[in-house]
Amino acid sequence: MAKKTILNLSAAELAGRRVLVRVDFNVPLDGMTIIDDTRIRTALPTIKDLMEKGAKVILCSHMGRPKGKVVDSLRLTPVAARLSELLEQEVVVCRDCVGDSVTRKLSKLESGQVALLENLRFHPEEERNDPEFAKQLAFNADLYVNDAFASAHRAHASTEGVTHYLSPSVAGYLIEKELNYFQAALKKPQRPLAAIIGGSKVSDKIGVIETLLEKCDKLIIGGGMIFTFYKARGFSVGKSLVENDKLELAKSLEARAKEKGVDFLLPSDVVLADNFASNANNKTVSVDSIEDGWMGLDIGPNSIKLFQEALADCKTVIWNGPMGVFEFDKFSVGTEAIAQTLADLTETGTTTIIGGGDSVAAVEKVGVAERISHISTGGGASLDFLEGKTLPGITALDEA
C-alpha cells in the first residue's frame, strides 16, 4: 500500500493551485464549544505545508451524524474559529460544500489562504458516494489530498469519489504516518511483537484476533470478552458479559494460538462488582472463583503483573481496547496500568501503537499520550487495517 503523499508534490506543482483536502474535524462539542481540538491540531502539518507552498487550501470534513439534513448544531463554524486561531490567519467559511455560492467564494481565494467547506454530511449524497456529488466537490479544485484516516474505511464521495475527478490524489502527512506505523508493525515488526486486545465482545474483535494470530508472538486479551473465553474453558462467570454463541469460536482461537506457538494470555484474576455501577461493591478473585451474582469489570493486580512481565521483552506492541470498564474510576486500574506500562516501554526503545478508540482516551486520561510512539486517529479505520481489510479512502489514492 505504497501511496503518493504531498512529499511527492513540489512547491512548483502546488503554487497557486486549488487543493481539496479531506480532513477529520469531527471534534467533540459542548454546544458550540470545542471540548478537544486534537483532530484539528493533527491536521496542521498538512495544512501548513500546503499554505507555505502557495496552494489555495480547501478543507472539507463531516461532523456528527446529521443524516443528510442541515443541522445547525453540527455546523463547522466553531472549527473554523479554532483553526483561524491556530493558523493565526482568518479561515474563509463556506455555508455549503457544493454549489454556485461556494464556487463564487472559492474563486476569490488567494495563494496561502485556507477555506473550510460546510459539513459534508448535510448532503445524503456524501455517504452514498454519489458520483455527481463527488464531481461537484471536485469542481472547485485542481488536486486532492486525503488526511482523514478516521474516515478512510468509508467509500464516501469525499474519500473515494473525488479521486475519479482530481489528479493527483495523494495522502497527507497524517495518513502517511498512520500507514508507516501500522505497516511496519504488521509487515516487518521488531520482535517480539505483542498485541493487546480489549473490549466487551469477542464478536467485535474476531477479525482482528484472527489476523494478529498470524503475525504476533504474544496476544493479550482483556475487557469483557475474557468471560466468553473463561466460560468456554468451563469456568463459572457469574453474571459477567458472555456471548454464548461464540464459545466454540473462543475455543478455536485458543487452539489456533497454541498451534502457531503464540503466547495467548488471559487475566489470572479479575475485579468483580455486584452491579454495573461506578459505586458498586467490589472484590478481587481468581478467575476460577467467580461467584453467582457478581460480574467482572476489570482485570486484577496479578493479571497486571502477568501482562507487564509478558510485555517486558517486546520490541513492538499494538493496543486496541480497554482492560475493563475504565469509565468508572474503581474499575479503571487495569486499563490505566497498561497505558503506563506502554509509556514506560516506549522510553526503552519499544515501538508502541495505540489503535484508536477507548485506548486513546485511556492514555490521555493517564497523561502519557506524549510518551507513546503512535496514537492512531482512526477507530474503525484502525480496526479494519489491523484486520487486513481494504480501506477505500487509501486504495483510491495514486500509487507511489
Residue 273 to residues 223, 227, 279, 324, 337: CA-CA distances in angstroms? 14, 14, 9, 12, 19
| Number of CB atoms found within 10 A of residue 159's CB | 28
Which residue is associated with the grid cell 483561524?
84
Annotation marks residue 31 as catalytic? no
Helices (H) and strands (E) in the chain, counts: 16, 17
Could you tell me the sign of the dihedral formed by the alpha carbons of 61, 67, 72, 73, in that order? Answer: negative
Residue tagged active-site, from 4, 201, 233, 260? 201
Look up 357 and say whether it is catalytic. Answer: yes
CA distance 117 to 96: 6
Annotated catalytic residue within 3, 22, 39, 215 = 39
Q: Residue 87, exposed/middle/buried by CB under 10 A (0-12, 13-18, 19+)?
A: middle
Separation between Cα atoms, residue 369 and residue 126, nearest integer Å: 33
Which one from 222, 238, 357, 378 is the annotated catalytic residue?
Answer: 357
CA-wise closest residue to 218 among 137, 135, 316: 316
Of 190, 130, 137, nearest in space to 166 by CA = 137
Among residues 64, 112, 380, 388, which one is catalytic?
380
225/17 Cα distance (integer angstroms): 51
**Position of cell 498451534?**
259
Tell me, yes or no, if 201 is annotated catalytic: yes
> Which whole-number Å values give the CA distances from 322 to 299, 356, 360, 361, in the listed order?
10, 11, 9, 9
User: Strand, coil or helix: what is 347?
Assistant: coil
Active-site residue set? 39, 201, 357, 380
